[in-house]
Structure 1
Amino acid sequence: MAPLTPIPRKPPRLHPGDLIGVVSPAAAVGEDALRRGCAELERLGFTVRIGNHALDRHRFLAGTDQARAHELMTMLRDPAVRAVFCSRAGYGSGRVLPLLDFPALARHPKIFLGYSDASLLLNAFLQQAGWVSFHGPVVAGEFAGRFSPRSREHLLNLLTTGRGEEHLSFPLTLREGVAEGRLLGGCLSVLVTTLGTPFALDTRGAILFLEDVGEKPYRIDRMLTHLKQAGQLDDLAGVIFGEMSGCLGETNDPALLLSVINDLFSGYSYPVGFGLPAGHHGENFALPLGTTVRLDTRLQVLTFLESAVE
């Protein structure tokens, strides 16, 4: 099983007073929630710069593709900006991928934080620019008032010291085993859209994290079947699912969803776990994509094996 190569570069860590840029690479965002989230970042000791186009609206998007891509590139290439956080997700990150200059970005890794639709950007920065990226809370979401103290502390430690919680627990084992690999993944319904594009995941040797929200079990079946038939489940080291909030279907019985997942992974020998508290709803613990982790479905823990920042 070939590992992901080359080894991703780690961005510089955050320090008190550092400037965080806030961008809207996808859907339009509400101003009140964005302002509350920025105020929380300032309360935590950082300086905040909201992008000039972060509150733009173009149909259902936060401005045109060109404007969103330009603002994202500007923030990522500005040496004064020490990290870039997404205002929210929604839809639209995939539209800007072809407009980004990944070779230029590869020279200067930077903390980039987001989830859901931003999974497209997180994995593109990992695979196209070669950086570690951070799957986790957004400014107009968790920072605006839906943050548990434990999740916030984990994120801050991860970004300022490179080490958050040593491991995260999950409640269900679907296939027993222990495996190590580089962590990648994110929102299932978003990641499946990369198949057949230059931004499809290279899953070889990876620990694949998959989560989603509000998708019925038959849709989860369809998306996992698509990944399986595309060969993206063949050479994994392991799989860990998030809490899959709202994905139980009309009966609200987890047995149906779990049977779908068990069936689709029945031919593989690697470990499969379920219920990691990351992604939509719940505590949304931050995950450093591109770093090496250990998945142990016997002890039901995902362990972080290296620092996430320099």
Structure 2
Amino acid sequence: MKRFSFGNIFSILLLVLFTYIPFFTVLENSIKSDTQIAANPLGILWTFHSGNYMSAWNGMVRYLGNTVIVAIISVMIAIPVAAAAGYVFATMRFRGKTLLFYCFLGLLMIPWTLTLIPLFLEVKTFHLYGTWWALILPYAAGSQPLLVYLFRVFFEGIPEELFESARLDGCSEFGILLRIVTPLSVPILLTGTVLMFINIWGDYLWPTVAISDYHLFTVSAGLQTYLGSFGQSGHGAGAAYAAYLLAMGPIILLLLGSMKYFVNGVTAGAVKG
């Protein structure tokens, strides 16, 4: 086993320090008063102004709820569809399978900003503009290339004998996917779910394009709307920092709660194929 030198440890600690300094700055300023932030935004003051979080919660709770609803429905659509497609690509043989799979992978090479205008026109054509479906359906569809790739790689690592045994017992392909593949694929399914949540939670541009009513905004666009309500006066700086923490808090909790499965899923997808 390779040993770490003092220089390696120091470099890692320095990297971690610089990575987390912005987070701790936001955390500290979220418990200061506006006057304290204006006087010394980087100073350490052991005070706690609960009003910052109360104000931030009142301003952000609607957007947090919107994001949870949009993310859950998007995942409920995208994960089963991608799992079924990944199972087909991993276990079945049909003409043109390789070409079709490469077409899926090719979609990953297209910057999503290039599809922004066509997607907007499509949403308008189907009368989805200004509704949550203008977010849910593009999120579910846009996640398919990466999810199908991850699921196919993982499913290919499952022993073929399990599939053959189930088929001999009369189990349908859907039954195999539901009863055999799904229980064995919890890590990669959770990995796909977490990746979708992170993408939806951090997306700012598309909600501002596809949604006209700010009451329906998801958290990133809603956070900008909330911060804009304070203007340029500097009033509400503590509440603004508290809002940042409320916006990032749920996704941090999700990662912490699913880290074991997330790491297992990513690692399995990297070594199988």
TM-score normalised per structure 2? 0.31
Look at both structures and tell me which one has the larger radius of gyration over its CA atoms.
2
Structure with a larger share of its residues in strand: 1
What TM-score do you get using the length of structure 1 for normalisation? 0.28
